[in-house]
Homo-oligomer: A and B are copies of this chain.
Amino acid sequence: MKTERSKVKRIPKRGFYDKETVYRILDADFICQIGFVHNEHPIVIPTIYGRSGDLLYFHGASVSRMLQTLETGVPVSINVTRTNALVLARSAFHHSLNYESVTLFGTATLVSDEEERMKALHIISDQIIKDRWEEVRKPNDKELNVTKVLKLKIQEGSAKIREEGVGDDKKDYDLDIWAGIVPIERTYGAAIPDPLLKHPTELPKSVLNIENEKL
């Protein structure tokens, strides 16, 4: 995982290179930012992903410029960042954030095997909302024909984590300035049924799993 490129330069003690840490952060989220080079210029685009083992899957419309560029094997950089708290110090300089972040480097390849494609779509669906795949109408041939699936082997990258209290300069502790942490919480709210539901039904398992839960 650790290479010259993926090594955390600023504040090395915040860097982690073990799969357990990197995968825990990846698994907690489903949105990443993918960076790639197009006509010598960088482009950063948000997209959803699903992880399974050492593979990260992406999907989208077959005509997507991003996927068409990525499948040519250009190098990509991927970042997932979860901001967990404001860290408010006595000095402006020591203000910080608590966060968990993963940066990966690699190249993506097209998934062409139909079985793996369907499995990948299931994995991406599960990453966003577990058990939903079992509840819905599965993709048909027409839909699969306009969908592209890519995968990236996770082998180079790092996690960076700050999860601490306030750290101020010694002499500033005497100042009469409030310091502390303000947590940032992400939760799923109450589900809003589609007004066009013809058969009003109870909420499905997938929604009951997450409603009013943290993410």
Q: Mark the stretch among A16-24, A31-39, A50-58 that contacts chain B.
A: A31-39
A13 to B: closest C-beta gap in Å: 15
Q: Are A35 and B165 interface neighbours, CB within 8 A?
A: no
Q: Is A73 an interface residue (CB 8 A)?
A: no
Find out whether the CB atom of A101 lies under 8 angstroms from the CB atom of B46: yes
Q: Residue A1 at the B interface, CB < 8 A?
A: no
B165 and A178 contact, CB distance less than 8 A: no
With A137-B172, A139-B92 as known contacts, state yes or no: A41 contacts B201, CB within 8 Å: no
Interface size class of A (residues with CB under 8 A): 35 or more
- Whether B185 lies near A187 (C-beta < 8 A) is yes
| Contact of A77 (CB < 8 Å), options: B31, B41, B179, B191 | B41
Given contacts A45-B103, A103-B45, A184-B188, contact A137 B10 (CB under 8 A): no
Interface of A is mostly: mixed
> Which B residues are in CB contact (< 8 Å) with A101?
46
The listed residue (B60, B75, B97, B132) touching A41 by CB distance below 8 A is B75
Q: Report chain B residues within 8 Å CB of A44.
A: 33-35, 44, 77-79, 103
- In the complex, besides A166-B194, A183-B188, 11 extra interface pairs with C-beta distance below 8 angstroms are A35-B35, A45-B103, A46-B81, A88-B132, A91-B139, A95-B136, A165-B194, A179-B193, A180-B191, A181-B194, A187-B187
CB-defined contacts of A173 to chain B, threshold 8 Å: 196, 198
What chain B residues lie within 8 Å of A211 (beta carbons)? 182
Interface string of A176-215 (1 = CB under 8 A from B): 1111111111111111111111110111101100110001
Counting chain B CB atoms within 10 Å of each CB, the highest count among A41, A76, A101, A121 belongs to A41
